[in-house]
Amino acid sequence: MVFGRSSDNRRPVEPVALKILVAGGFGVGKTTLVGAVSEIRPLRTEEALSEVGRPVDDTAGVEQKTTTTVAMDFGRITLREDLVLYLFGTPGQDRFWFLWDELAQGALGAVVLADTRRLADSFAAVDYFERRGISFTVAVNCFEGAGLFPAETVRTALDLDPGVPLMMCDARERESVKDVLVAVVEHALERVSGERRHATT
C-alpha cells in the first residue's frame, strides 16, 4: 500500500472518444434525448418560437413546443471506462441544415430520431446520412398518443436498407437512450470492420 492506496501498477485507461450525431425532424425530441443521457450539463442553443417563424416552422402534431434548437445540442456519456461518446444534436428546420456538414465532420455514426406522427420529417436525415456514407440507426420516439406500428412497417415507410438498425425508444428515459447509442456504435464499428476486411481481400 502506498499512501493508503493499492500498489496496482496498471496504467490508467485512456478512453476512446467517439462523436455521434442526433438528427431528425423539427420537434422530434433530439434535445430531450441528449439531455436525458448526458452526464454533464448539456449545452443547448434554444430560442423561443416566434410569430415570425410560425409560417415556416410546422408545429402540427407538436403544438406544445415553444422553443427550437438554432445551432446544436451537446452532451457527453461514458459508456465504459474506455469509451466516451460526445453527442451533437442537429437543428431540425430546413433553414439550419447548412450547419449539418460542420457537425458531421469526424462523426462515427448518427441517430435518426423519428416520430410516427410526422414520419416524413425523417426522410431528409435518412437521405443525408445515406448520401455521405455515415452509419446511422433509426430510433422511433414513442410519444404518448402516437400510433405504435411494427418496426417493419416503419422500416418500409422510411424505405430503409435491410442493414440499417431500427428500434423503439423513449427519448426521456436514460436507459432507453443508452440502448440506442450502443446500437449506433456497434453498427458503425461493424460497418468499419467490414469495409477493412473487404479492402484487404
Query: In the structure, how many helices (H) and strands (E) does the chain have?
Result: 5, 7
Q: Please report, in tens digits, the pLDDT of each residue of the chain (201 residues total).
A: 433 454 556 677 788 999 999 999 888 999 999 999 999 998 876 555 445 444 554 555 555 544 555 458 999 999 999 999 999 999 876 666 778 899 999 999 999 999 998 999 999 999 999 999 999 999 999 987 766 889 999 999 999 999 999 999 999 999 999 999 999 999 999 988 888 777 776
Q: Give strand ranges (E) for the chain.
A: 16-24, 43-48, 67-80, 83-89, 109-114, 135-141, 166-169
CA neighbor of 117 nearest in space, from 62, 159, 66 = 62
Please determine, looking at this structure, whether the domain spanning 16-199 carries the CATH number 1.10.730.10.
no
What residue ranges do the domains of the chain occupy? 16-199
CA neighbor of 108 nearest in space, from 197, 34, 32, 182 = 182
Partner residues linked to 112 by β-bridges: 23, 138
User: What's the predicted TM-score (pTM) here?
Assistant: 0.79
On whether the CB atoms of residues 135 and 186 are closer than 8 A, the answer is no
